Amino acid sequence: MHIVVLAGGYSPERDVSLSSGSLIANALIERGHRVLLLDVYEGLSELPSDTDALFRTTPYERSPIPSTVPDLAALKSRVGNGDALIGRNVLALCRMADRVFLALHGAMGENGQLQATLESFGIPHTGSDYVGSLLAMDKDLTKRLLCDAGLPTPEWICATPKTKEEILLRAPLPCVVKPCCGGSSVGVTMVEDRASLSAALDEAFRWEDRVLAERRITGRELTVAILDGEALPAVEIRPKVGFYDYANKYQGSTEELCPAPIPKETADRLAKLCLDAFRVLRLRQYARFDVMLDEDGELYILEANTLPGMTPTSLLPLSAQAAGISYGELCERLIALPDAREG
């Protein structure tokens, strides 16, 4: 197959996406596919006369993940796209492919905008369609749908800069403050008291004008990946220092146990809960759910990830490996699953 792997993008999670994309591209090349790894934001300024030559059979250089988030203002100035989120010739190249593998994280790559664009052009892609992507990316909307379905999620308040003063008075404490549509723990702060709440809200507002103040659950942090209608073995996340923030996620500062050392009854409840949430949010193909297990044995869904990371430290490949699915086989299965047009 001819496959375009879309990565990068104009997102705080850009570097994570580029790392995922390089590994995915190389895994697919190793399995005999012709692959073009393409930055959806930068695009390609000119198309060669032989566009087929862009699809490689030799590996790409692996992309590392720096310890800090990228400078998007500098990127915008360098690329010169203005407000356009899709670079030159990206859609034309995607239309030449048999399948587009979405290796994007955050922003336009995960909130349904790109999915809707590809689907409007009849371009088959991996992951959920635009509806599921939108529902899962907006944490406030996700939690409302989970509550309506009777699925547990911590209580929360959604804030904007105009309602900040109200949130300062009403936010549950201790709490987690986070951007409403962010990922990779960018802009996330653990808040213990009202004195530190204002600064945490300001940090989240740096990234987005809608943020959540969510009651902090004390307990064990778990994550469950769903692949083609089945729950993979759960992972327990144990940061060595602090919480599971951007640096701990990608710089090897976290212990990840898979399968998670929890009783079978808890594992079964956890799998069912995540499968139910997968259906409620109208997701497709695959996703990953972050869940807290409190000290009383109760489970709480924190959020859904519709395009989970595929980096060397990512949790979906770890779960797949525990289920006997290699990284290359996982990539192969994802391109083989029916897309939004195929049912």
Say what the pLDDT of residue 251 is.
46
pLDDT tens-digit readout, 52-67: 999 999 999 998 888 8
| 290 is an active site residue | yes
CB 105 within 8 A of CB 91: no
Is CATH 3.30.470.30 the classification given to domain 156-214?
Answer: no
pLDDT tens-digit readout, 161-188: 999 888 898 998 999 999 998 765 778 9
Say what the pLDDT of residue 341 is.
63
Say what the pLDDT of residue 246 is.
44
Is CATH 3.30.470.20 the classification given to domain 137-152+217-325?
Answer: yes
**DSSP-derived pairing of the beta strands 99-102 and 2-7:** parallel
Domain boundaries, the chain: 2-125, 137-152+217-325, 156-214
Q: Which of 39, 110, 290, 339 is catalytic?
A: 290
| 34 is an active site residue | no
Q: Which of 13, 42, 110, 221 is catalytic?
A: 13
Cβ neighbours, 10 Å, residue 284: 23
| 203 is an active site residue | no
Angle between helices 14-30 and 327-336 (to 10 degrees): 90
The three-class DSSP label of residue 1 is coil
In order, the DSSP letters of 119-169 are: HHTT--BSS--HHHHHHHH-HHHHHHHHHHTT-----EEEE-GGGHHHHHH
Q: Which of 14, 99, 284, 288 is catalytic?
A: 288
CATH class of 2-125: alpha beta
Q: Which of 130, 246, 250, 327 is catalytic?
A: 250
Residue stretches of the chain with pLDDT short of 50: 243-251
Say what the pLDDT of residue 339 is.
83
| 246 is an active site residue | no
Say what the pLDDT of residue 248 is.
44
| 288 is an active site residue | yes
Q: Which of 15, 109, 309, 319 is catalytic?
A: 309
CA distances from 276 to 144, 150, 273, 289 (A): 15, 10, 5, 11
Say what the pLDDT of residue 301 is.
98
DSSP 32: T
Q: Which of 39, 42, 110, 303 is catalytic?
A: 303
CB 225 within 8 A of CB 286: yes
| 99 is an active site residue | no
Q: Which of 305, 314, 327, 339 is catalytic?
A: 305
Say what the pLDDT of residue 18 is.
94
